[in-house]
Chain A
């Protein structure tokens, strides 16, 4: 397979470092996420995966390093500015507007609604552009018919789907999903796998995931984080056989703290 010239990455990090107190969570993490690929970040608990997402989305600031979006340095931008650029995320611990219905949750996330955020007069339901867009997304994540159910009253699996729907509503240039299958049983997991597979056609996705079969079957590119550094990177097939990765997951990697 002869690869054409590598397309410019959508999202890129250079030498990211972040410590909490004296505990270095990420050190020298440089990653590139190519357009229209599904990249997975895997690694044992405490490897720094979610911290990495929080740096990418601006909820944490790095101690050192740079974050580039479409070639532009966004390291200093606050999270809402990054979201407006199209860096959209879902959360590992569900973070929905529980009192809102499915429709309201998605609608408030649509950029057409956001642009009218300081409109004090028009009824929110009359912003038809946002309404239509929200309805389309609800269908896309398979929640059609549940539009008027309050988020708090939905099953866990459906709340997971809604979590993704809300992130999708932001019209992402890159979609970051933090453990989308976390806590799911086998059947909702299958629904979610199909959804992610469909989304991956024509969207840049970065996903943090523990479920190896999910990662190996869906992703184009896998990054393995261990104790805050990238220990392996490559296509899923290569990662599967990578000795160090096996060790990290099996827990036999030697204790290598250097301090």
Chain B
């Protein structure tokens, strides 16, 4: 069981499942839906940023383009819900795979700059291809068609609570899959690449292939999240693809502690979206507060909120007796949060 759903994850799932029925939170069902969608995106993105150490700055483009694949498929090709959603994921992965071919051999700043360039290119494409994408007006009229679930009959996704649980199912599945990935042999390799690509290569790993695979995978999750986001808003719009919005997912990972913990991105999304919601009702100048707050977090908590908590919890990991004891009692590294241990040096 633990290999599938460790305890903190179970807690997270239960909490998310209960949210719409908690009275004072029930009004925030739509916000909760957005949180889960962005959490899928951020968890997938953190494969790149936190686990492989590849700072891709144009990932919003993949999140956004999924909507157009989904919308175009629903409007002009097949209709329905499942095929368009699959088209959103696969189309995005295909584009991600192509971009990956160009960026997988790059390191550091060159990698980042190339991802920005591709992100901006896709953003412009939306306006160039406005006959298909709707340009600035967006691709509207996308429907949340009802889903037939064996045994439960038809689920009307137009209902926000039903849609919440529809997204919830994807959130649960994605989280479990990502957890398996980061703990798998593949997960070990990408974390190794982050620590020393040269050494990983010297050990016989074709590191560009792994970087390509991670990039494409993360685009798959961006595509899933982007597709759900499009359904949530009944339309595909260009604004999540802009460079500015692309920064959001990076911030989410950093704030929550994507370098320190698997769950960092989820916490980051919650803080990011809920804070925005709360602050914007309090003051007209919320953007200023919001910006300052994030600057503070980046400056004073470089490993994010969960990084701080983790450091406080086990400051003496280097005492081998304790580590060995932990291992003997079954608290092996793969049993606990497998996030890459806090970065050293920087």
Contact = CB atoms under 8 A, between A and B. Distances in A.
Interface of A: 57, 59, 78-81, 83-84, 88-89, 91, 95-101, 104, 107-109, 111, 113-114, 116-125, 127, 145-150, 152-153, 166, 169-170
B289 interface: no
24 contacts: A59-B198, A80-B201, A80-B202, A80-B205, A80-B206, A83-B202, A83-B204, A88-B202, A89-B202, A99-B342, A99-B343, A101-B333, A108-B203, A113-B185, A118-B186, A120-B184, A123-B180, A123-B334, A124-B185, A147-B324, A149-B318, A153-B320, A166-B199, A170-B204
Interface string B259-280: 0000000000000000000000
Interface string B154-197: 00000000000000000000000000110111111101100110
A148 B186 contact: no
Contacts of A152: 318, 344
Interface residues of B, number: 41
Given A117-B186, A120-B180, A166-B199, 9 more contacts: A79-B201, A95-B198, A114-B205, A117-B205, A125-B183, A148-B323, A148-B332, A153-B320, A170-B204
Interface in B201-248: 201-207, 210, 213
Give the top 5 A-B pairs by smallest Cβ distance, nearest first: A153-B318, A83-B204, A99-B341, A97-B195, A84-B204
Given A97-B199, A99-B191, A108-B189, A148 B320 contact: yes
B313 interface: no
A193 B332 CA distance: 33
B326 A117 contact: no
Given A99-B195, A125-B332, A170-B204, A117 B318 contact: no
B135 to A, nearest CB: 38
B217 to A, nearest CB: 8
A107 B333 CA distance: 13
Given A83-B203, A84-B204, A113-B188, A121 B333 contact: no
Interface centre among A96, A101, A145, A148 (most CB of B within 10 A): A148
Nearest to B331: A148
Interface of B: 3, 180-181, 183-189, 191-192, 195-196, 198-207, 210, 213, 317-318, 320, 323-324, 326-327, 332-334, 340-344
A135 to B, nearest CB: 12
B334 A125 contact: yes
B294 to A, nearest CB: 26
Contacts of B192: 97, 100, 108
A149 B186 contact: no
B185 A127 contact: yes
A121 B186 CA distance: 8
Contacts of B196: 95-97
B210 A98 contact: no
Interface centre among B187, B202, B324, B344 (most CB of A within 10 A): B202
A122 B318 contact: no
Nearest to A102: B320
